Structure 1
Amino acid sequence: MPVLLMLSRPILAIVLLSTPLASGGEAGDYAAVSLGADSSGGLSSGGASPVSALSTFNIVIQPGSSLAGNSEAMAAFQRAANSWAAYISDPITVVIDADVRSFGTGQENVIGGTSSYLLVGGYSGLRDAMVADAAGDGNDSIVAALPTMSYNLNVQSMSGVNFSGNVLLTKANAKALGFSSSMLDGIVGTTTDAVIDFNSDFAFDYNRADGIAAGTIDFESVALHEIGHALGFISQTDLADQVAGFNGGIPYLTTSEGNVPLTQLDLTTLDLFRLAAGSQHGTASEFADAVRELTPGGEAVFFDGDHEYDLSTGVAWGDGRQASHWKDDGLTGERIGAMDPTIGYQQAWGLSEPDLRALDLIGYDIASLAGVPEPAAGILMGVAGCLMWRRRRAASE
């Protein structure tokens, strides 16, 4: 097994846009929520709530006092967890701390946030773990076509930024690849895999089965999306997108500790399948040689061996949407899946085949895709105003 090290946890914020994305507008202000995971990993009031799942895959929600006291919100969160669990068969337990609270003044446009524990390891070792996980599944043969050594991987990002030779993944993703839960818990110092908060200042509808009330946000859809990020739907293009400028040709990030040079970039497990749009990748050798596109603003696709799906390219330097998402249906007219960066009031969605294929290739065992909607299918209940998910990296743990 490759050696894994812990990195600081990124924060994923959900923000309300001031203008509809269909018109190409973007909110003027974004606010990130500083999320602190319970360092003890213990149960908060209400206790842990296991969610039934296919085989032995399980998502455990450890609710804070507000979520535990809101039975409708808790039930909606469990339904979202069940949606993922219905297709995943890895014998693992994913632990999510979650709560509903007011984000307060200055955070009025932020609906919620997810912070996942991240680990990093050498490319070759993690590539081999992914290949071993995919072995025996004919649909995942593209994983074995990944170059065996990091120096054979063609990675493209901003000028002055090179591939580090390492791969980044969420703690939940590492579990799916067969890393010991106890070992991972020891590395990060907690049994928690991710933290999700929801802003109680927003009006949520907790039961879309009877329709979604006007002026409300479907809680279950937001939870479904957030869980996807916790499981590993993330891209390091979003880190490059935070480059504030260049000093002597070297890009830098602005942090609370000043300007920090960014000269090397890890790839996430998902980024290994993030190819430059238009690149040749029809054969195994072409896929191995294809450019991994981590340049903010650089058009990119997720390639699963048979299909390619457009990806977002970055908030600051790209298309105005975080790169850790499918391409916004407000720009293309086609919704690829639950990992779309926008959602409207009175709108709900479910999982699609591309959502599950992405997790399949990064290390999860997907039992079956039978009955999963194709892109642009799913539940839609009107659009009035939009939401966007935005990721920011925390400066420190």
Structure 2
Amino acid sequence: MDAQAYDAFVRAGNRWSSVFTDPVTVNLRIGYSALASGVLAQASSTQTIVPYTNFVSALRADRTSSQDTTAVSNLSADLKFLTNRTSDSPNGPGSATPYLDDDGSFNNQYLRMTSANAKALGLMSATATGTDATITFSNAFSYDFKPWDGIVAGTFDFTGLASHEIGHALGFVSGVDILDYYAGHGGPYGEDNFLLDPLDLFRYSVDSAALGVADFTADARAKYLSLNDGRTLLDSLSTGVYYGDGRQDSHWKDNLGIGVMDPTAAAGELLKFGEADLRALDVVGWNRISATGSAASAPGSAGIAGTAAVPANAVDVDAPATLWLLGSAALLLLARRRTAGAG
């Protein structure tokens, strides 16, 4: 990766370091490679599996904002949620009809989360040197590396794209992407193969809100972020490549201009942080600088460390002619991830 691209990536890391104060080091490997048609960039994050109760305890101890307090106070003692398309659905194997998963099995006891998110919560060493994510940019597009003077027509905002992919590494991911993919690729599989990520604890639908539980379903019903058991709709979420709206679940709803974690980018578009981006990562464990105070620096933040360029593998799909996809993470069944030693 050349100097101007590397410098732009460092600026993207500094953007995040300027809004969160956690004293952790996030180690990222970056590079260019040929990606799937229409895919601008993608992130493949190292993930770990943690007990739900440990996560809740860590999140409670990590509260630094009123939003943190609201989010934690509305988490249930037992993990239960709506899901569908599993082999053990009471509505029949692979049924699209949502059901309440509250049987206390493995996926009601454990969460999957990115290693960077785990660092922020003290669930692993803040200075662990392993790679937290591999971020790959397509070599098929032209990029603008200096967003402060506008984005040149026909090019893409490299710093904004890097900010987006770093956001996935920090924890803006959804386990519904895995359910959405595998339900139709060799599935259905048992429910214990599919774990919620921390952000999924705040993923709701009208139906799940009526039950006071999160919505972990692969379907096209509207999903949204809520910190109070679904009573208040904050921001709309994408609903899935295969059974939803055509966009990965690990993103905001497309074409609403919600924030840098939107699923697509257009040539000439300046990609900006939104309040929603910061709120989402705040409530999963990152400590945010006050929204009413200075966001110019983050004392004590070790920031983003970039290392050698390597390719990544992830599942993405073709994009429309004028909007180009931003990818989240590799889709692996839990059993395969556990065999590989994560957790």
Q: How many residues align?
A: 286
- Tell me the CA shift for residue 278 of structure 1: 6.1
2:252 pairs with 1:326: yes
Matching residue of 1:335: 257
Q: Which moved more, 1:217-226 or 1:124-133?
A: 124-133
- Tell me the CA shift for residue 214 of structure 1: 2.0
Distance 1:175 1:360, change over 3 A: same
Matching residue of 2:140: 201
**Structure 2, gaps ≥5 residues long:** 90-100, 296-320
Asked if 1 retains the 8 angstrom alpha-carbon contact of 2:84 and 2:218, the reply is: yes
Tell me which of 220, 230, 237 is aligned to 2:176: 237
Matching residue of 1:93: 25
Alignment of 1:222-371 (within 5 A): 222-245=161-184, 253-254=185-186, 261-264=189-192, 265-277=194-206, 280=209, 290-297=212-219, 298-305=221-228, 308-329=234-255, 334-370=256-292
- Tell me the CA shift for residue 119 of structure 1: 0.7
- Distance in 2 (alpha carbons) for counterparts of 1:271 and 1:372: 30
- Distance in 2 (alpha carbons) for counterparts of 1:234 and 1:372: 27
Could you tell me which amino acid in structure 1 is paired with residue 171 of structure 2?
G
Relative to the length of structure 1, the TM-score reads 0.66
SS of the aligned residue for 1:181 comes to coil
- Deviation string, structure 1 residues 42-97 (Cα, Å, up to 9, x no partner): xxxxxxxxxxxxxxxxxxxxxxxxx2xx1111121111111111110011111111
2:44 pairs with 1:115: yes
Could you tell me which amino acid in structure 2 is paired with residue 315 of structure 1?
V
SS of the aligned residue for 1:320 comes to coil
Alignment of 1:168-207 (within 5 A): 168-181=112-125, 185=128, 191-207=130-146
SS of the aligned residue for 1:393 comes to coil
Could you tell me which amino acid in structure 1 is paired with residue 216 of structure 2?
L
- Distance in 2 (alpha carbons) for counterparts of 1:90 and 1:223: 20
Distance 1:86 1:78, change over 3 A: same
Asked if 2 retains the 8 angstrom alpha-carbon contact of 1:311 and 1:325, the reply is: yes
Distance 1:366 1:200, change over 3 A: same
- Deviation string, structure 1 residues 222-269 (Cα, Å, up to 9, x no partner): 101000000000111111111344xxxxxxx43xxxx67233221110
Distance 1:356 1:372, change over 3 A: farther
- Distance in 2 (alpha carbons) for counterparts of 1:300 and 1:346: 29
SS of the aligned residue for 1:97 comes to strand
- Distance in 2 (alpha carbons) for counterparts of 1:92 and 1:207: 27
Asked if 1 retains the 8 angstrom alpha-carbon contact of 2:235 and 2:258, the reply is: yes
- Tell me the CA shift for residue 179 of structure 1: 2.3
- Distance in 1 (alpha carbons) for counterparts of 2:5 and 2:49: 34
- Distance in 2 (alpha carbons) for counterparts of 1:273 and 1:244: 22
SS of the aligned residue for 2:62 comes to helix
- Distance in 2 (alpha carbons) for counterparts of 1:342 and 1:260: 29
- Structure with the bigger RCO (C-alpha within 8 Å, sep 6+) is 2
Q: CA RMSD in A?
A: 2.6
- Distance in 2 (alpha carbons) for counterparts of 1:179 and 1:124: 12
SS of the aligned residue for 1:225 comes to helix
Distance 1:304 1:263, change over 3 A: closer
Alignment of 1:366-377 (within 5 A): 366-370=288-292
Q: Which moved more, 1:298-307 or 1:77-86?
A: 298-307
2:3 pairs with 1:75: no
**Structure 1, gaps ≥5 residues long:** 1-66, 246-252, 282-288, 374-383
Distance 1:174 1:309, change over 3 A: same
Asked if 2 retains the 8 angstrom alpha-carbon contact of 1:276 and 1:291, the reply is: no
Relative to the length of structure 2, the TM-score reads 0.76
Higher strand share: 1
- Distance in 1 (alpha carbons) for counterparts of 2:131 and 2:172: 18
| Structure of higher CA gyration radius | 1
Distance 1:318 1:280, change over 3 A: closer
- Distance in 1 (alpha carbons) for counterparts of 2:258 and 2:150: 23
- Distance in 2 (alpha carbons) for counterparts of 1:229 and 1:372: 24
- Tell me the CA shift for residue 309 of structure 1: 0.9
SS of the aligned residue for 1:266 comes to coil
